[in-house]
Amino acid sequence: AVSWYEEFQRLYDTIPCVEVQALKEHNDQVLHLSFSHSGCLFASCSKDCTVKIWSNELDISLQHSSNMRPYNWSYTQFSQFNSDDSLLLVSGVFVGPHNSSSGEIAVISMENFTLLSRVRNKPYDVFGCWLNETNLISGNLHRIGRITSCSVLWLNNAFQGIESENVNVVKRLFKIQNLNASTIRTVMVADCSRYDSPDLLLDYEEQLAASSTCPVFDLGSDSEEEGAKARAAPEAAVQELPGGGAVPAERGLQQLSDGVAERRLGPAPSDAELETKVAELFVRNRTKPPEPNLLPTDSNSKTKYLIFTTGCLTYSPHQIGIKRILPHQMTTAGPVLGEERRSDEFFDSLDHVIDIHGHIIGMGLSPDHRYLYVNSRAWPRDCIISDPMQPPPIAEEIDLHVFDLKTMKEVKRALRAHRAYTPNEECFFIFLDVSRDFVASGAEDRHGYIWDRHYNICLAKLQHDNVVNSVAFSPVEQELLLTASDDTTIKVWRSPRAVRVRQARRPRPRKLLFSWLLNQKS
């Protein structure tokens, strides 16, 4: 801003805090909202098992509704438009037992609203996302033991009915081992080529100098010690030989067996501890090393980051994993099952891990993909996790962390104002969104919240009658915000300035009455 007066006007007059419309076409909880890139359409997902597409014109109106119950879905939970707005990805949850984790991704054409393809997705809270115009990412989960599993991320062609047998419709992207009941969830893609022209550059030197509560581990670092600390649980650190080399897996298993035998009279490790230690020893020599030089150096780089929640201590998501996707991996063409890796490399390693020390309940990227915003509920400061099936209690306050994906550092102290009350086992995702100047989030306290990205302050509370699950800014007009709630409504919020402008455009009733009288006289 040129002056503080103009800055005051921006903060007072351009915040989307005036309710202008309430959409009540859903008849159950509304879980997610997503805008098209043009801002002309948006989609909503709900527990009523429909995905609805809305037209964003002078007044928002319903354009189409797709019922997913015929495909054995329980409800729809997430949607995303592809980059040219021609296709809509819709993620849902299958009907099944209470503990079922299976879901499916459907692709809908925006030209005629026909269903083009369906892809299995497990666990369902991987959600899925677009990698480019025609390829989407889904997940699968394979159980190895009681608390050990393997997550496979797949690249799928949106058009599954390809006639040529030489063109793959699916390709394995990454295969990652999970320890201590953790799984990969909530995948999203960040485009590195947009970093060097950020919409807003957050520069908080005093905050960078302060000690961060969210350490970032570069798993591609030259330091062997750093990588070991990031990958290993506190009680399962990588064993080192006296000469400095790592213990081979076979010797490690023998040492573990001897150690258990020697402690027969003492406290024996639990089954979970044994399984985790064996899994770590197995994966040590069976994992493809991280990609070197993760941070992008070429401003025209076509590299993208795959970002997801994960963990290493317990089943609740408490870490953010980052894996670089190279240009040759962005198509289903080429080897189907990753023949380029050695035969003994079963798993891919993560390139970066961000430890949040709390339960992650939401993530969102800034419009320039430079900054990652993370909703989390913190664990107690000095908590120790002895049982992966019993994570620590989580705080009611929601912390909103901000990370710079170019430097892989936290650049802002956590924003606070919103709250959540559900315990670990019932914790659910609260979707947030980021515009050029603002960041917004839902909460369990029946409000949506808006913060200013420049000043780190809460600007507005947006009221609902129940939990606010999702928020969405228009990508072309940040003075328009949508909020979705368990009260079954979608509320439309505009800034005071936008409301005045729209009212000025509408014809005044007095003028219409005057023209009607003139016509009657003539």
User: Could you report the per-residue pLDDT of 294-352, keeping only the tens digit for each?
Assistant: 555 544 467 899 999 999 999 999 999 999 998 888 887 765 544 455 544 678 989 99
At 300 the pLDDT is 44
Cβ neighbours of residue 407 closer than 8 Å, sequence gap 6 or more: 295
At 425 the pLDDT is 74
Higher pLDDT, 415 or 251: 415
Are residues 60 and 521 in contact, defined by beta-carbon separation less than 8 angstroms? no
Residue 246: is its pLDDT beyond 60?
Answer: no
Angle of helix 271-284 relative to helix 249-262, nearest 10 degrees, comes to: 160
Measured distance CA(69)–CA(46) in Å, rounded: 12
At 287 the pLDDT is 61
CATH topology for the 19-197+300-503 domain:
Methylamine Dehydrogenase; Chain H (2.130.10)
233 Rama class: left (phi>0) / alpha (psi -120 to 50) / beta: beta
Measured distance CA(92)–CA(100) in Å, rounded: 13
The token pair at 280 is 């770590």
At 21 the pLDDT is 95
Residue with tokens 């699968």: 140
Cβ neighbours of residue 232 closer than 8 Å, sequence gap 6 or more: 238, 280, 312
Side-chain-facing half-sphere of 283: CA atoms under 13 Å: 25
Candidates 432, 477, 437, 441; CA nearest to 453 is: 437
Residue 65: is its pLDDT beyond 70?
Answer: yes
Are residues 349 and 285 in contact, defined by beta-carbon separation less than 8 angstroms? no
The token pair at 81 is 């438009």
Most confident of 269-283, 301-315, 327-341, 356-370: 356-370
What are the distances in angstroms from CA 472 to CA 36, 78, 189, 216, 384?
11, 12, 18, 28, 37
Cβ neighbours of residue 236 closer than 8 Å, sequence gap 6 or more: 276, 277, 280
Are residues 403 and 212 in contact, defined by beta-carbon separation less than 8 angstroms? no
Question: In the chain, what percentage of residues exceed pLDDT 70?
Answer: 71
At 206 the pLDDT is 41
Cβ-based burial of 371 (10 A; exposed 0-12, middle 13-18, buried ≥19): buried
At 219 the pLDDT is 41
**485 — phi, psi (to 5°)?**
-140, 165
Long-range contacts of 89-96 (CB under 8 A, 24+ apart): 89/128, 89/129, 89/130, 89/136, 90/43, 90/45, 90/51, 90/66, 91/45, 91/121, 91/124, 91/127, 91/128, 92/45, 92/49, 92/68, 92/124, 93/124, 94/124
Residue 392: is its pLDDT beyond 70?
Answer: yes
Query: Cβ atoms within 10 A of the Cβ of 151, count?
Result: 26
183 three-state secondary structure: coil
Higher pLDDT, 278 or 455: 455
What's the whole-number average pLDDT of the chain?
A: 81
Higher pLDDT, 136 or 241: 136
What's the alpha-carbon Rg for the chain, to the nearest Å? Answer: 25
Higher pLDDT, 434 or 57: 434
Tens digits of residue pLDDT in 35-54: 999 999 999 999 999 999 99
Are residues 23 and 490 in contact, defined by beta-carbon separation less than 8 angstroms? yes
At 333 the pLDDT is 73
State the average pLDDT over residues 377-399: 90
Tens digits of residue pLDDT in 206-245: 444 443 444 544 444 333 333 333 333 333 333 332 333 4
State the average pLDDT over residues 273-290: 60
Residue 132: is its pLDDT beyond 90?
Answer: yes
The token pair at 46 is 């709900």
Tens digits of residue pLDDT in 441-460: 999 999 999 999 988 889 99
Measured distance CA(403)–CA(354) in Å, rounded: 9
Higher pLDDT, 504 or 261: 504
0.75 exceeded by pTM: yes
Measured distance CA(118)–CA(91) in Å, rounded: 10
At 185 the pLDDT is 95
